[in-house]
Structure 1
Amino acid sequence: MRDLCIVGGGVAGLAAAIFTARAGLDTLVVDGGESILARNASLENYPGFPDGVDARQYLQLTREQARNAGAEFELGRVTRAEPVTEAALEEGFVLETEGGEPLEARRVIAASWPNSDYLEPLDVGRMQRGNKHFVSVDEGGRTAVDGVYAAGRIADEPHQTVVAAGHGAKVALAVVYDSEVPFYQDWIVPEGYFTGRDRDVPPGCAEIDAEERRERDEKARARLLEAFADPLDEEPTMHPSVERD
């Protein structure tokens, strides 16, 4: 049984996976195959990219970051989620997928596009608006069912990449805090930041010396230079309702 299963490999799900995996939770992302962001012609309002960034390149790099953090991925679509034992939610949940083996996890983050029919057996508290069913959550993304969370658009967050990323991270931290993993904050600091004040380095934090900081910086710059050396061949995905010749 996994510590966490994240349903949805878009921005919210990927951001959540980065934080939970880095915190030490055994994290599986069930990716339905395409993020809505892939329809974006040019992502131009995400902080840190003054002239914008190719949305598909951004998604590729974010998936790579989640994998580097330790998250694993499975391609598929979740069709049903229910408790392993009806009377004991702490025993976790089982997720049915199209054509795949059932998946079990102690906690679940729903981070998919707002078609939440697969959550209906859990009675998490859904709101219908048009043809979409959003999930009611508290400030940490917790639903009415202990152990089940929702992040991003399915949690009725605004339809913007930076919001989805931020909400995914916020919900991930709620999952970490609700788990038994010792955690203070995901923070990499200079050597001596804590120990120089006679403090232990808190769980989730790390101190690195100047040499390691330079090595990490060089690795990061080299990876980005490689990623952006040439444009991607991938084209934006058109909305399925648009007729094409």
Structure 2
Amino acid sequence: MRDVCIVGGGVAGLTASIFTARGGLDTLVVDGGESILARNASLENFPGFPDGVDARRHLRLTREQARTAGAEFELGRVIRAEPVTEGALEEGFVLETEGGEPLEARRVIAASWPTSDYLEPLDVGRMQRGSKHFVSVDEGGRTAVDGVYAAGRIADEPHQAVVAAGHGAKAALALLYDADVPFYQDWVVPEGYFTGRDREVPPGCEEIDDEERRRRDERARETMREAFGDPLDEEPTMHPSVDRD
């Protein structure tokens, strides 16, 4: 049984997986194969990219970051989610996948826009608006069912990548706190930031010296040089209702 299963490999789900994996939880992302972000011709309002960035390249880098953090991936579509034992949510959940083996997890983050039918057996509080269904959550992304969270557009957040990323992180942090794992914040700080004040380094934080800081900076710059060295030969995904013939 996994600590957490995240349904959806878009910006919200990937960001959530980075935080839960870095927080020490055994994390699996079930990726349905397409993120809405891939429909962007150019992502131009995400912080850190002054002239924008190819949306598909951004997704690749975010997936790589999640894998580096320790998250694992499975390609597939979840079609049903229910408790392992009826009336005992603390025992976790089983996720039935289309053509695959059932998956078990202690906690679930739904980040799968626009699909949420698989949540019906859990009665999480779905709201219909037109042809879409949203999931009602509290300020931390918690649904009405203990152990089940929702992040991003499925939780009625605005349709913007940076908002989805932030909400995915917020839901992941709520999950970490609820899971009672030793965790303070995900910070990498200069050597002495805590210990220089006679404090222990809190769980989830890390102090590094200047040599290590420079080493990590060099590694990060090399990763970005390789990622942006050549044009990405991938076209945006068109909305399925558009006839391109």
2:83 is matched with 83
Q: Distance in 1 between matches of 2:73 and 2:211?
A: 33
Any unmatched runs of 5+ in structure 2?
A: none
1:96-146 deviation digits (Å, cap 9, x = unpaired): 000000000000000001321100000000100111110000000000000
1:112 and 2:112 aligned: yes
Shift of residue 244, structure 1, vs aligned partner = 1.4
1:7-59 deviation digits (Å, cap 9, x = unpaired): 00000000000000000000000000010100100000001100000000000
1:209-232 deviation digits (Å, cap 9, x = unpaired): 000000000000010011001110
Tell me the C-alpha RMSD between the 2 structures. 0.5
1:60 and 2:79 aligned: no
Shift of residue 201, structure 1, vs aligned partner = 0.3
Question: Which amino acid in structure 2 is aligned with residue 238 of structure 1?
Answer: M
Would the aligned equivalents of 1:31 and 1:74 in 2 still touch at CA under 8 Å?
A: yes
1:162 is matched with 162
1:26 is matched with 26
Q: Distance in 2 between matches of 1:118 and 1:14?
A: 20
1:243 is matched with 243
Q: Distance in 2 between matches of 1:76 and 1:61?
A: 20
Secondary structure of the 1:165 match is helix
1:181 and 2:210 aligned: no
1:171 and 2:171 aligned: yes
Question: Which amino acid in structure 2 is aligned with residue 217 of structure 1?
Answer: D
Shift of residue 184, structure 1, vs aligned partner = 0.3
Secondary structure of the 2:199 match is coil
Would the aligned equivalents of 1:107 and 1:147 in 2 still touch at CA under 8 Å?
A: yes
Q: Distance in 2 between matches of 1:114 and 1:239?
A: 13
Query: What TM-score do you get using the length of structure 1 for normalisation?
Result: 0.99
- Across the two proteins, how many residue pairs are aligned to each other? 245
Question: Which amino acid in structure 2 is aligned with residue 90 of structure 1?
Answer: E
2:223 is matched with 223
Where in structure 1 do 4 or more consecutive aligned residues deviate above 2 Å?
none
2:137 is matched with 137
Any unmatched runs of 5+ in structure 1?
A: none
- 1:171-210 aligned within 5 A: 171-210=171-210
Secondary structure of the 2:216 match is helix
Question: Which amino acid in structure 1 is aligned with residue 238 of structure 2?
Answer: M
Shift of residue 181, structure 1, vs aligned partner = 1.0
Question: Which amino acid in structure 2 is aligned with residue 103 of structure 1?
Answer: L
Query: What TM-score do you get using the length of structure 2 for normalisation?
Result: 0.99
1:17 and 2:34 aligned: no
Q: Distance in 2 between matches of 1:192 and 1:227?
A: 33
Secondary structure of the 1:149 match is strand
Would the aligned equivalents of 1:81 and 1:119 in 2 still touch at CA under 8 Å?
A: yes
Question: Which amino acid in structure 2 is aligned with residue 19 of structure 1?
Answer: F
Would the aligned equivalents of 1:10 and 1:37 in 2 still touch at CA under 8 Å?
A: yes
Shift of residue 149, structure 1, vs aligned partner = 0.3
1:123 is matched with 123
Q: Distance in 2 between matches of 1:36 and 1:52?
A: 17
Q: Distance in 2 between matches of 1:142 and 1:36?
A: 23
2:38 is matched with 38
Would the aligned equivalents of 1:115 and 1:134 in 2 still touch at CA under 8 Å?
A: no
Q: Distance in 2 between matches of 1:120 and 1:68?
A: 33
